[in-house]
Amino acid sequence: MFQGLLSLICYVPLAGALLILFFPKDSKKGIAYFATAVAAIDFAISLPLFLQWDTSLAGFDQRTFERFDWIPSIGAQYVFGLDGISVLFVMLTTLLGLISVLSSWSAITERVKEYYIFLLVLQTGMLGVFMSLDFFLFYVFWEVMLVPMYFLIGIWGGANKLYAAIKFFLYTLFGSVLMLLGILAVYFYYGAQTGVYTFDYTQLVTLGADPEFFELSKWIFWAFFIGFAIKVPMFPFHTWLPDAHTEAPTAGSVILAGVLLKMGTYGFVRFNLPMLPEASRLYAPYMLALAVVGIIYGALVAMVQRDWKKLVAYSSVSHLGFCMLGVFALNVNGLNGGILQMINHGLSTGALFLIVGIVYERRHTRMISEYGGLSKQMPVFAAIFMIITMSSIGLPALNGFIGEFTILAGAFQIPSTVALSFMGWSVGGKFWAVCGVSGIVLGAAYMLWLYQRTMFGGLDNPENLKMTDCNTREVIYLVPLVACCFWIGLYPKPFFRILEKPVARLVEQVGGGRTGYAHLAAPGPAPAPANDPRAVE
Amino acid sequence: MEFDAAKYLQDSQFIIAELLLCFFAFIILIVSAILPKEARRSIAWLSLFGTTCVVPSVAWIAWQLKGDAARPVFFGDVAVDGLAFFFKLIFLVGALLTILISIRYMDIERAQAGEYYALIMIATASMMFMATALSLLMIFIALETMALSIYILVGFLKENRKSNEAALKYFVLGGFSTAIFLYGSSLVYGATGSIQLSEIAVRAVPGAPGVEIAVLGLILITVALGFKVAAVPFHMYIPDAYEGAPTAITAFISTASKAAAFVVALRVLLAGFPGLHEYWAPLVALMAAASMTLGNVAAILQDNMKRMLAYSSIAHAGYTLMGVLVAGMPGATGQFGLKAVAVYMMVYTFMNIGAFAMVIMLRRENLVGDQVADFSGLARRSPLAAFAMLLFLLSLAGIPPLAGFMGKWYLFGAAIKGHYAWLAVLAVVNSAISLYYYLRVVVCMYLREPLTDEPYNTSPALTAALAIAAGMTLLIGIMPERFLRLASFSYTLMMAAAPG
């Protein structure tokens, strides 16, 4: 039923970009409308995936599978396929892709043609990353995507765009080439072991069950870690993010925060956990430590920002820390929450960047102190901003709450053996969850304070009197995000149902048992022998 | 050994490509003496025709080889094998593209001359001999013939001081390295009593009498080859030579002549000293590490495009040396390394000549066009050219899905497969660093305003060269399978064939 659909979804934006090449340079409106149509088609054809998803599947849906030989000499194949985890990311990408194109209509006035070409090529790259089930193909898409993003920041960015663009490109490339070494190591190990040199994910993932792979997998874990952690970004690899997010044009920030960052977390979920389970368990305390440092550090730094967009950027560091906390809880709740929170973050932070973009387009400044009392001037805008703020800080009935709650439920299940020892002190177990909770409090503080400083108070700045409320187009692209926030907040069941089986399998792969730390469980009372009369059939 | 005319004739079929090239070179020399000065431009087309004629003859040898083991001809001095075949292709590609990008350039420099094209063809023929040579003497003669042709080509702009300086530096240091090579060869001969690589391989093994002398000779030969492939610390002349030489010749020596040096290195180290791998491996590893690090760091500081590409070429030599290093290992690992070198050299030829072709495109009567800043606003003025340059630069940086990535994939893979993890890590870190200076050009092209509105004028030949280079950079990146199969030919390296 879905035969060829994934390739279609992936390459429709690319085809659109190629067609835009033939547009005359001056027909700015025509190009914008056409790009929007392409993105809309892409979203529309991806909808059946979500609506008709078979939730009983733990693995990859055979209906979506596409497999061709690509470079037989090295065993690289063209393999596309989705499971319950990646289908959510594909949907997020096509939705945010459409919204970011819509948001660019009036924001981009120069070099319009190139802009939409880069935006659409970027979308192909991102979709390819989430769809590829061949490590080589995955890497190709992973890198391809950097080039259009570099141009989006570098050409249409803010004052410091060149610095931000190069920093983004170099930083990410540095991570991904180290990841490439990890990929090569997996490839050669598997080849030497089985005689089959392949990049096929479904085969390579079986290495997770190979006990001899453990020694090598410790190194590979760190190679992958660098690649993914820079993308996430995890503390201390986050320094490219504030620059890139702040300088990028609105659509670029939306895509960066909404989709690009998820590639890092997706990478951990897709590769590190099932392929390197023992190493993942071994290093989980370090990952958790970096995650909670990210949560608290990101929140504290966000609190002191004077730049609206930078504040949102640092809040991403904090929120992505939450996702990592959930993922490396290595249990069902943690992973469910972590993955759902990735989607939530894409929705709410994407919306926050759009909101900054709306005021920036009107006032051309991002300084929080320039604003104040906007709620009187822009009531619709203020209402939407309020909902998104609440979603971001995790108010019940909105999506953030569901995600954070589930993550914390998972984090509280982390056994106390998962701890870091330092000079006789040992921190771990519930500690991670406690740190996470404090992150939520800080999150509420900086978001509400931001809201108060910009929306409430007097309209002191005469410049702000000229500000107009959201126009129809702006409402149109914000409303779907708001609706999704309520949907996940009020009725998250469809999402959890899609995630249920894949996550259960993932937890099984990464270590078995409900907590994911079965091997670390304190030796309790010996299990009842089989012939024990007390044993119940 | 008795003289056997029939055998000579029979063997000659395997060097028909070299003979054809020399034949056309001499025709060109004669024709250029006859032709009036204004008509000299047509000689370029003649040389293009001649070089194109050689391609089928190379392919014919490959067809002869089909299913057959590699074989030595001319008393075991000349190899007929896959390695030679594939590198001959690289030289031909390099020569063809160089001639294409030369035509307009030599017009502008007012240095259009028949000798120029004849020398390119003679240099190409000597490179082919380098790729087939199986004795140290053959290698020496071929190496010298190529070097002499290139010294002249580098100094071809007689009125240009930089070109003269470059030629002198290249000549002095080139002569120096030749002497070192000769000294090393004589030591090896003294230790093993042979100049045939296959016999050296048997006698230069650990524990053999006099092997210490052979090791010393090996080290000297490696040093000389280090000069030729432009590896650190023997790279000092490279930036000056590359900057001063006519740009088309810079493109030629940074690709074809480098590939020739690499194939000689493979031949000597793999066929001549397989037993002494433990001696030369650390040497090559250190050269690789130093070349890529120094080349990349120095390239960051350059404002002149040709100097930047010179340092980048040093860095690329460093990457490729990893392949040489691994090629010396036994079994499948060695084959992988060998293929990595072959793939990389071919890929590098396309992308690097493409980049130099762009520098030539910017050259106008009143503008040298070799500064990075000269690329400013290229995307506005000529979007297609800017896109081609973007492909070359990203490919040099190893971004998929471009040819350079396939090449780097093989080299990094070879390092991992050969358990040189430290070298692999260094190489990928360097590869990330290199992006910085390649991006500087991209920034100029796409993010800066044009310096002038003067339109670019290009020539059909230059456009063709750019299109071929860009097309192949993209094609090898996206659909590499056919190309990789062709490169697999290089596996059939003749190791210890007895003299026939």
Q: Which tens digit of pLDDT belongs to each residue from B26-61?
A: 999 999 888 887 777 788 888 999 999 999 988 887
Q: Please check the confidence at residue B400 and state whether its pLDDT lies above 80.
A: yes
Averaged pLDDT for residues B152-167: 90
Whether residue B475 contacts residue B391, with contact meaning beta carbons closer than 8 Å, is answered with no
Q: Please check the confidence at residue A523 and state whether its pLDDT lies above 70.
A: no
Q: Please check the confidence at residue A416 and state whether its pLDDT lies above 90.
A: no
Q: What is the pLDDT of residue B153?
A: 94
Of A72, A173, A185, the CB nearest to B432: A173
Contact between A73 and B488 using a beta-carbon 8 Å cutoff: yes
Averaged pLDDT for residues A66-84: 90
Q: Please check the confidence at residue B448 and state whether its pLDDT lies above 80.
A: yes
Q: Please check the confidence at residue B393 and state whether its pLDDT lies above 90.
A: yes
Q: What is the pLDDT of residue A169?
A: 92
CA of B314 vs chain A CAs: smallest distance (Å)? 20
C-alpha Rg value of chain A to the nearest Å: 23
Q: Among B152, B164, B143, which residue's Cα sits nearest to residue B114?
A: B152
| Eight-class DSSP state of B233 | T
Contacts of B359 (CB under 8 A, 6+ apart): B247, B305, B306, B309, B369, B370
Q: Which tens digit of pLDDT belongs to each residue from B229-261?
A: 999 888 889 999 999 999 999 999 999 999 999
Q: Which residue of chain A is at minimal alpha-carbon distance from B393?
A: A147
Mean pLDDT of chain A: 88
Is the minimum CB–CB distance between A303 and chain B shorter than 8 Å? no
Query: Which residue has tokens 């939730």?
Result: A55
Contacts of A77 (CB under 8 A, 6+ apart): A67, A68, A69, A70, A134, A136, A137, A198, A199, A200
Is the minimum CB–CB distance between A166 and chain B shorter than 8 Å? yes
CA of A123 vs chain B CAs: smallest distance (Å)? 16
Distance in angstroms (rounded) separating the CA atoms of residues B325 and B283: 9
**Residue among B322, B426, B443 with most chain A CBs within 10 A, to mutate:** B443
Query: Which residue has tokens 């491996």?
Result: B281
Distance in angstroms (rounded) separating the CA atoms of residues B117 and B124: 11
Is the minimum CB–CB distance between A187 and chain B shorter than 8 Å? yes
Is the minimum CB–CB distance between B394 and chain A shorter than 8 Å? yes
CA of B439 vs chain A CAs: smallest distance (Å)? 8
Averaged pLDDT for residues B262-271: 92
Contact between A139 and B400 using a beta-carbon 8 Å cutoff: yes
CA atoms B266, B267, B270, B272: torsion sign:
negative
pLDDT class for A517, splitting at 50, 70, 90?
low
Distance in angstroms (rounded) separating the CA atoms of residues A515 and B435: 43
Q: What is the pLDDT of residue A134?
A: 93
Length of chain B: 500
Is the minimum CB–CB distance between B429 and chain A shorter than 8 Å? yes
Averaged pLDDT for residues B112-132: 92
Distance in angstroms (rounded) separating the CA atoms of residues B414 and A109: 48
Averaged pLDDT for residues B58-69: 72
CA of B264 vs chain A CAs: smallest distance (Å)? 26
Q: Which tens digit of pLDDT belongs to each residue from A158-181?
A: 888 889 999 999 999 999 999 999
What kind and span of H or E run contains A76? Answer: strand A76-80
Is the minimum CB–CB distance between B474 and chain A shorter than 8 Å? no
Q: Please check the confidence at residue A522 and state whether its pLDDT lies above 70.
A: no
Is the minimum CB–CB distance between A11 and chain B shorter than 8 Å? no
Displacement of CA B433 from its chain's centroid (Å): 23
Taking CA atoms, B199 is separated from A140, A518, B192, B271, B276, in Å, by 46, 62, 8, 9, 14
Averaged pLDDT for residues A482-487: 93
**Of all residues in chain B, what percent carry a pLDDT higher than 70?**
96
Q: Please check the confidence at residue B366 and state whether its pLDDT lies above 80.
A: no
Mean pLDDT of chain B: 89
Contacts of A180 in chain B (CB under 8 A): 409, 412, 428
Q: Please check the confidence at residue B472 and state whether its pLDDT lies above 90.
A: yes
> Is the bond preceding A274 in cis, omega lying within 30 degrees of 0?
no
The ipTM value here is 0.92
Is the minimum CB–CB distance between A70 and chain B shorter than 8 Å? yes
Q: What is the pLDDT of residue B66?
A: 65
Q: Please check the confidence at residue B323 and state whether its pLDDT lies above 80.
A: yes
Taking CA atoms, B261 is separated from A381, B214, B217, in Å, by 67, 21, 18
Q: Among B201, B189, B333, which residue's Cα sits nearest to residue B267?
A: B201
pLDDT class for A535, splitting at 50, 70, 90?
very low
pLDDT class for A524, splitting at 50, 70, 90?
very low
Q: Please check the confidence at residue B420 and state whether its pLDDT lies above 90.
A: yes
Q: What is the pLDDT of residue B340?
A: 93
pLDDT class for A186, splitting at 50, 70, 90?
very high
First to last CA, chain A: 44
**Of all residues in chain A, what percent carry a pLDDT higher than 90?**
58
pLDDT class for B498, splitting at 50, 70, 90?
very low
212-271 of A, contacting B, C-beta below 8 A: 219
Contact between B399 and A155 using a beta-carbon 8 Å cutoff: no
Inter-chain contacts counted by CB atoms under 8 A, chains A and B: 77
Contact between B428 and A181 using a beta-carbon 8 Å cutoff: yes
Q: Please check the confidence at residue A529 and state whether its pLDDT lies above 50.
A: no
Taking CA atoms, A83 is separated from A58, A204, A260, B74, in Å, by 7, 17, 19, 62
**How does DSSP assign B279-342, residue by residue?**
HHHHHHHHHHHHHHHHHHHHHHT--BHHHHHHHHHHHHHHHHHHHHHHHTSSHHHHHHHHHHHH
Is the minimum CB–CB distance between B237 and chain A shorter than 8 Å? no
